Every structure is written in structure tokens, then in C-alpha cells.
Amino acid sequence: MVTIYTGRAGGGKTEALLSAMGEGARAGRRQLLIVPEMLSHESERRLLQSQGNPIARFAEVLTFKRLAQRVLGEGGHPPALLDGGGRVLAMHRALSLCGDSLTHFSLSARPELAGGMLELVSELKSCQVAPEDLAKAAESLGESRRKVRDLSLCYAAYQNVTKDLPLDDKDLLTACREALGPSDFGRGWDLYFDGFSGMTAQERSIVEALLEKCHSAAFALLWEKEDRLFLEQEKFLQRLAGICQKINRPLKVCPLQRKEGDLPPALSVLERDLFDYAAIPTENAWQGVNIYTLSDPQEECEFAAALCRKAMGEGMRCRNMVVACSDMETYAPLLESTFQKWQVPLFLGEKSDILQKPVLAAQQGALLAACQGMGYEDVFAYLKSGLSPLTMEECDKLENYVLMHNIRGKQYFAPFRKNPGGYGAKEDPGALLELEHIRQKIAPAFENLVKALKASREGPDYAQALERFLKETGMEQALSEKARSLEEQGRARESAEYSQLYDILQGALCQFSAAMGGQQMDAGEFCRLWRLMLSQYQVAAIPVSLDHVQAASFDRQSFAGVEFLIILGAREGALPPAVGGGSLLTEEERDQLFRAGVTLTQTAEEQAYEAQSQIYHAFAAPSKRLAVLCPQTLSGGTACRPSYLVERMLHLLPGLEMSRPAGDFRLLAPRPAWELACAACQGEGDIWARAALSLEEEKGEEEQNHFEALRRYAVSPRGPIRSRELVAAAYGKRIRITASRAEKVAACRFSYFMEYGLHARERKRATFGAPETGTFLHDVVERAVRLLEEGDEQEPRKAALRAIAQVKEKTLPHLEEESPRFRAIFRRIQRMVVSIVEDVWQELSLSKFRPIAFEMAFGPGEEYPPILLEGDGVSLTLSGKIDRLDGFIQDGTLYVKVADYKTGKKTFHLSDLLYGINMQMFVYLLMVGFGREAVLEKARERLGDGAQQIQTAGVLYIPAKTPYVQVGYGEDGEGKLTKELRRIGIVLDEEPILQAMEDRQEGDFRFLPVSVKKGGGLKSTSSVTSREGLEKLTRGVDRQLRRLCALLTRGDIEARPLVTGPGASVCNFCPYKDACHYDETMAKDAPRLARVLSQEEVYARLTEEEEEETHHGR
């Protein structure tokens, strides 16, 4: 007897099957329940729960695939299978074999065509359609003939390729049907089928074979007579009746009805009338059903977690709650992160793409690196996966070095020799030795992989090369340790996935060797095919505990025992989901094939009915509550409309309304409530944020103190570091700074703290950019001018080339190993240096000021002493190095001029000194004054014995560049170039001193920033000042340095960036922007504006400062 239990959802069909299984087991017969794959775990649980554990002696639950493996394995081991990865490779080979025979499809789209063909072949096999059936049908078609003929050719070629390979897993059920003939499997058993709304031709053939042998059979079928909602189930019922008639087995249909009052009124109305468009509304019956509108999918997931958490608080078990939607691709990652945050246990019943898993990213990165020249992105995709032989700290150190020196290709396979600090930095042998040790951990395996891939010719060769690499790098052990670590962290689902990944990877390698045996290819094709193959695999895990909320798409949910159902994404186009499309055959072509005698799976219309049936099953499942959530926008911000089913619900249940949840739902879990409370502390959030804060503070004194600290933070500055011990730990007991560092303190204290207190450094490349070029130029110009000044060379060009050779040997000892582009840039820099030396020497040739010292270093252990400043018990040592100090002796006075080479664009305003920037030259003047005796001694040595006292003559920035100027027709190009090369700074307003600086015969000064009137005297645009002015400026810088010293010693780390003009904030290029969270919308954050003032205004401000200092007795 074959019994079919029918009825609407909740009618007791499954219970009838389970009860019959119990009776059959007690009678001593074998019981077999066959279910779809996604229901196997739940069905096993329900069977044991319903009939008790002893039934396991007589009963089991199988899917069709597991049944086939059981049948085929009766004589020993089950057959080896060609899985999804092997199948796509076989299809790739098949398409190659078709070659020029195809007239409709283009092989240029082979990867896409392989995927589409594979999907179609799977469908054809499930429908038991052979290639010759397709070819025969093509003869009777019109416009589609060429296309269907091509499909039959590809199908036949695929069958030809796979005949010598392991059994195609899509032929597994066909092989099972053939094996069932002589087998005793199922003979005298009781068979049961549950959860099927239809079956493929392959599955029906197995059912037919089993019905011929079994003692009895029973089916549970979601179907009610004369209801088009169950159209697909009705077709299935008719096919079952045909099978029973064919094998002469009696068939009995037993309709079951759901008990009245089994559901709350509102849920009962939806179960009965949701898809009955003739149904009338039911008054006062909406309790237990809610429709909510949320901003977007993220907020939907948060509210779903809140609903589950609230239900948990009311005593409902997590396993009785289900979250369902059509678009799990969007919602799955959001659900996983949100439910974890809300501390609600969740099981995602979806398979995930293994290409997104770190192990696959790791091996893929390693493979691409070996095939494509060991590029940075590919190498570190592997190293950063956490599955390489390196620790994350070692990976970071190696990455810094690789990025700095652009390491790639064979450079990984030779010892590292370049300076870890970059060009011109101080050598650190220990750091280089450590980097070499790190390199040796990965280089041998990579080098072996590169060699093996180059030596490979056929598919199995490449697979073996990759397998050896995985073994050499300890991938299996790394995965095992990762799985164990995840389990210890309570992330059991991820741990279970990691445990599967190495086996999947090993299986894929075996499949590749089998499918591509004898196939010639290059490394590039192997990489493409390997990725294409891996894209066919997915990973899933069984539930890690019994009590968890289940989340899955409608077609992957069992909905058994659901008390509370939450439906997400109830929007147009998603509930129900759009169907059809995505196949190589259009609906019209499917219809033509049907008329030609080829029956395929569902049409778009049948799929739509199937989708409606699944949604009906979901709506009919909950026994207590239903919540439908509608997003107003998609994740990308696109507006969307509610599903028409929402309108149906509102029509059937008058009084039911769409509502937007109040913000209090975020108070239901500790972490969201804590975040709200923190927002309230900073003056943000709404009434619920303030409520969260109130609730948190009621917990006790510790929470009150914490939020009081947050309130203070919202309005208080960053820092200060109040502990002197911590200040000393950050900067040292004696703070050492330079002029440029002092300017960084002035520009932004927080940035200075990050760089010199915490020693945070941005990652950089070892390029000859502006800083490196500047250092190189400084060194070369200094050496070249010294050679000329001391008479060792007579020509500027020769002096420059000699100096370049000396500096290059020190800075770039491995220049020949650099790239052609780098060497070309360096040659251009050399030509620029020669021009600069010629320009500098020409200036010196016109001047009575002669160099006293080059690279004149002031500081501890140097020839000249540092500046010492004291503040709050902490001392500050100011050091520096003057590029060049020039001097001229007249009447016993040494007039000194500080010269500094600048490779970039330089602007100079005296008012900058008021804000602590552009102080460098005046700091050098302070150093000269502080080391007065040593400077006089040096001047006497270089210029003669007449120097008795020192007088500042000026400070000048020398453009160390070869500028480019645009010259129009008739314009003075030479004049424009001369203007660009004019020095920047300020000099003493005394004619004899100016003339000594530059021997001007007529017209303007060429080098000095001074312009002469036609009738004599200096123009107002001249950058000159008096002796008193220079002294006032120098004293102002001294005061500024002491202020900055006090800021450091007080632990001031506030972010008060300096803005020097519209859009010219120091924040623009600051690497620490993400750390300071500077926000001008907050009361505590505001920039400091550096206004440009005239010389008179600057002196007035400096006079005010001096008077104030005198008034306070300082």
C-alpha cells in the first residue's frame, strides 16, 4: 500500500509519518525516511524526539544522495565521484573539444559558458534527457535550432570527456537506479517521504524502484484539492499515481485537516486567506501579527535580534524562533554580526562560498604570486591570511620592508641587503638580520613553487606543485590550530567550517588531477582553471547547539516547531522573489522543447507557484507570533516599496498597521544599550539614548564614574598627560628636539605626541622623493662647495660630479639593483644637482661672505653645544644642523648669515614666527648665540683673527632646485628664472653689509631678496630689517620655544591644528587623522588660524609680548 497524507500546513502530515514509523519499528521492520538535504538534521531530531531513541535501531533518515551512496557502496566502498569542481573542468575540456563546431555560442566567453552549460547539463541529467534527445528535438525547431544543436554538441562532448573520469555526481541517482534492480536494498522495508513538493525524473525513477520492493510506503504532501497555490504538488501527486498504476501498487490519499483553534485568529486568517484573493477581511483578529518598517537591512537585522531577545526574556526558546528571507546573500553577514552583538545564539542555514574563506584566499594569493612575479598584493594576500609560517608581527615588519624597497620577483629569493630605514637612514644591522630571518621562513617554499610551476606541463603537475607548497608551509597544521582557537573563543560554527576546508582543498587537488590528466597548459591557464574550479565549492556546518535561532532562505527552512517567525526584506521583488532567468534556455525555448518531446524542470510560471507555496508554508508555520519587517531602502540607499503581500495582510486584518519601532528596542541588550548611553554622554542621540544612560547609571557607582568620565571627555581636551613619569616615558627625562620638531609641536601637539611620544610611523616607500632628494642635495652641495672653497676643485661641474660619486656610494651602494625607472630618476637628479652647485657657487663668487662651516651640528657630543631649556622640572635639549654658516669680518665684528637649502616650494612670512612655524632659521641664530665662543673660534680659523663679536646679518633659504617657468612670446625668460632662484628670508638693512653679501654693480640684487629703487634706496618690498628688528625676532623665537617646552612638559597632547590659509590645514596631510578624531562640530575642537601680518604688526605683537613678560616678572 502507498499512502499519501495531504493537507494544508499544520495538518499533522509529518506527525502521521513519524507515528507510522514507530508502529513499523515496533513490528520489527526497517524504517527509512527520505527527505530533502536541508531537512535531514531536523528530521532526525524530530524522529528521535517523537518516537524515542530506541527507534534508531530500526529507522534512519536519508537524502537521495546518501541513499544512492549507500546502494552503490553495498559491494564495498562507494564510487569515487566527480564533484562540482571536477565537473566544471570537464566542461571546460568539452567546450575545447567542440572547437569550431559551434555556430551559436562563442568560445571567447568560455568561463561564463562553462558555468551555464554545466547548470543546463545538470538539469538535463536530472530530467533524464540524453544528448541525442536534445539533438533530435533541435531538428524540429525554428530559430532556436542552431542554439539547441550547439547545446547538444557540448552535452555530448561533456559525456565523452567524463566517461573515463570518476562518476559524475549528477549521474549518481541514475547509477543508483540501475543498481537497485538486483539489490535487496529496501526489500520488505517501510518507506516514507517528507518535505518534497515535487521530484526530478531521476528521483522518481528511484522511488519507482523502491516501491516495487518495499512493504509499504507513505508520502506527506502539502496539497489541498482545487487550490492553485498547490499546483506543483498536484502535478507531483498525479505522477505518483502514475507510478503506482504502472507497478500495480494500490494508492490511498488521506486528507488531513488542521484543528480549529490550533492557531491564534490572525495567524489562522493568514494561513487560510493570504493567497485566496476572494477572501474577505476578518475584523478584530490581528493580535499576534505585526508589520514594521525599518530604515534598511542593517536596522532590520538589529530589530530582529531585539525581537528575539525580548521573546527569550518572555520564556521562549531560541530553537522555536526562525528568521527567514529571500535575499540571504545580503542579510546573512548582517544577521551574523548583529545577533552576535545582541548576544542571541544564531545558526545560519546557508552554505558559504569558500573563495571568501582565508585558506582559499591564502593559497590563491600564493599561487598568483608564484605565477605573476611575486607581486606585493598576491604575496601578502597569502601572508596576511593568518595561515602562513609568519606571525602577524613578522608579517608587518616584512610588509614595511617590501613596500619601502618595492621588493618583488627574484628579490625575495636573494638575501636582503637594503637599509630597512630607507635611503640615507642610519644603518641598523640587527633589523636587517631579523628581516633576513623572516625572509628565510617563506622564500624557500615560494622558490620551490615558482620552479615547480615553470617545470609543469600538464594539469596534474600543477596540482602536485601546489600540494607540495601547502605541505611545506604547514597549511594543514595552521588550519587545525585556527579551528581549535575559534572553538576556544566560542565560535563553534566557524571552527566547524575551518575543519572542513583543508579536506575540500585536498579533494579539489585530486579532482583537478583526475579531470585534467594529459591536458597541456601554462601556469596562467592553471590559475584561471583552479579559481574557476574552487568557485564551485561551498562549505556548511551543522548546528552547534540545539537551542539557537535559525536563519535561512524560505527554500532552506523546515519551519518545524516554529512559535515565532520573523520575515525580513518584505519588499517588492523579494517577497516572493523574482523567478526565471539565469539559464541558457529562455522560457520560449523551453516551451518549444516541451512540444518537441523534451520535458525539463519548472517553467517560470511553475517556479512562481513553487515560491508562493514556500512563502505560504512559512506564513502558516508560526504557532504564536509573526513579525514582518519592511526596509525603506536597500543597503546601497535605493528606495524600495513594501511587498504586495504586506498589502494583503493589511487588507485581511483590519486594525493591523505598519509601524516604525520606537528606539527603545536598543535597550533590550547590554551592548546596544551601552552604545546609546555613550552617545548620550557626548550630547548625541534621542530620548532613548538618555534613557539608556539613566538605566546604566542606576547600576552602580562604577558605571556612574565611567559615564562621568565620558561626559568630561566630550567637552575636555585630549589629555593632558598628568603624570610626569608618563611624560618622561613618552619623551625621555631630557626631551630632545630639533627646530623642525619644535615646529611640529606648534602645528599640532597631538600629531607630535603620536610621532615622537608613541613612535607611530606611517608606512613609506624607499623612493627618491622630496625628503630623500633634499637630503641628497644637501650632502652633495655641501661637499661640492667645500671642494671649491678649499681649492680641491676649480670648476663647479667637476666638484658636483665628484661630490655626487661620494654621496652615491654612501646613500645608494646598490643602485645597479634598482629598477630602470629609479635609475633614470636618479640621473635626472644628478643633472639638477650640477645646476644647483653652479648657482650656489656663482652666488658665493659675488659675495665677501665666506663659508665658516658646513653641516654645522649643535647638540650633545657635537662640536657646538645645544640650547638648554628648563620647564616644570623637565629639561629640553634643542639640537640642530645648519646647512651652511657664512661670515664676513668688518671692524672686529663677525657678521653671520645662516643659509639653508630648500628643495621644495618655500614661502616665508615673519608673522609665522608668532605661531611657532618657520622658526628654523631663527632657532639656528639662537644656536649661534648660544655657542658664540665656539663660532668665533671657528671664524678666526677660517676667516682670520679679527673677529671679536658676532652680529646677525640675515637668514636665507637657498632654492635647491631647477625651476621650470612658462615664457610667453616676447617675455623675459631669463628674468623669470632669476626671480625663481632668488633667495627667501630677511637680511640686515645696512648698505655695506648688503654689498658684502652680493657685489651688485648696477640694477637689482640677483640673489638677495632686496630690490633697489631707480633713484637709490630700497623698495618697500625688500625683505630687510634693522639690527634691533633681528634681535627682537630672535627673542620672540626664544619665547616661543619656551612655550613649546612648557606644553611638552605639561603633557599637552591636544589636537589644535594650525591653519595657514583657505584649505591649508596641517590636517590635510597628517597620517594621524584617524587617531585623533578631530571634529570641528564638537565644542572642544577648533583650529588655530595663522594670519599673515605686516612687518610692523609683527614687531608690535612682539613688543606687547615683551612688555607682558616684563610686567609678570619673567
Cα–Cα distance for residue pair 148/589, rounded to 1 Å: 9
> Whole-prediction pTM value?
0.72
1062-1101 per-residue burial string, b: 16 or more CB within 10 A, e: under 16: eeebbbeebebeeebebeeeeeebebbebeebebeebbee
- Tens of pLDDT along 331-341? 998 998 999 99
Considering the domain 2-79+173-255 in this protein, what is its CATH number?
A: 3.40.50.300
How far, in whole angstroms, is CA 942 from its chain's centroid? Answer: 61
Which ranges in 813-971 belong to alpha helices (H)? 820-845, 920-930, 932-943
| Coil, strand or helix at 573 | coil
In three state form, how does the secondary structure of 943-1003 look? HCCCCCEEEEEEEEEEECCCCCCCCCCCCCHHHHHHHHCCCEEEEECCHHHHHHHCCCCCC
Pairing mode of beta strands 216-222, 190-193: parallel
Amino acid at 939: A
Q: In which residue ranges of the chain is pLDDT below 70?
A: 75-77, 107-111, 350-353, 355, 424, 540-546, 580-582, 682, 713-716, 765-772, 774, 817, 871-874, 904, 961-978, 1082-1083, 1112-1114
Helix (H) / strand (E) element for 62: namely strand 59-62
Amino acid at 846: L
Amino acid at 1085: D
In three state form, how does the secondary structure of 597-611 look? CCCCCCCHHHHHHHH
pLDDT at 896: 94
Please give the grid coordinates belonging to residue 991: 648698505
Pairing mode of beta strands 564-567, 625-631: parallel
By C-alpha distance, which of 1046, 1093, 1094, 1089 is closest to 1066?
Answer: 1089
Q: Name residue, grid cell 618583488.
A: 408
pLDDT at 678: 83
**Does 2-79+173-255 match 265-350+546-661 in CATH topology?**
yes
Amino acid at 974: E
Give strand pairing partners of 888.
Answer: 895
Cβ atoms 268, 623 nearer than 8 A: no
Integer angstrom CA distances of residue 1076 from 719, 754, 915, 1020, 1071 = 11, 9, 21, 43, 10
Which ranges in 127-223 belong to alpha helices (H)? 131-138, 145-162, 172-180, 201-211
By C-alpha distance, which of 933, 853, 930, 861 is closest to 899?
Answer: 853
Cα–Cα distance for residue pair 453/456, rounded to 1 Å: 5
Cα–Cα distance for residue pair 897/1008, rounded to 1 Å: 12
Cβ atoms 330, 574 nearer than 8 A: no
Number of Cβ atoms within 10 Å of the Cβ of 835 = 16
The torsion of the CA quartet 141, 145, 150, 152, rounded to 10 degrees, works out to: 10
Amino acid at 736: R
Backbone phi, psi, residue 1023, to 5°: -95, 80
Cβ atoms 206, 67 nearer than 8 A: yes
Amino acid at 964: Y
Cβ atoms 32, 59 nearer than 8 A: yes
Beta strands in 233-326 (DSSP E): 251-255, 289-294, 321-325
Amino acid at 343: Q
Cα–Cα distance for residue pair 904/924, rounded to 1 Å: 20
Integer angstrom CA distances of residue 82 from 178, 539, 780 = 19, 17, 69
Pairing mode of beta strands 1024-1025, 984-988: parallel
Number of Cβ atoms within 10 Å of the Cβ of 766 = 22
Cα–Cα distance for residue pair 478/875, rounded to 1 Å: 51
Contacts of 809 (CB under 8 A, 6+ apart): none
pLDDT at 871: 57
Beta strands in 63-119 (DSSP E): 81-82
Cα–Cα distance for residue pair 716/482, rounded to 1 Å: 43
Cβ atoms 854, 884 nearer than 8 A: yes
Helix (H) / strand (E) element for 221: namely strand 216-222
Cβ atoms 331, 297 nearer than 8 A: yes
Handedness of CA 583, 584, 585, 586 (dihedral sign): positive
- Running DSSP on this structure, what letter comes out for residue 663? G
Angle between helices 587-595 and 145-162 (to 10 degrees): 80
Cβ atoms 202, 173 nearer than 8 A: yes
Handedness of CA 746, 748, 751, 757 (dihedral sign): positive
pLDDT at 1113: 59
Residue ranges of the domains in the chain?
2-79+173-255, 81-165, 265-350+546-661, 353-539, 666-715
Number of Cβ atoms within 10 Å of the Cβ of 426 = 6
pLDDT at 161: 93
By C-alpha distance, which of 289, 317, 305, 313 is closest to 551?
Answer: 305
Cα–Cα distance for residue pair 396/201, rounded to 1 Å: 56
- Assigned fold of 265-350+546-661: Rossmann fold (3.40.50)
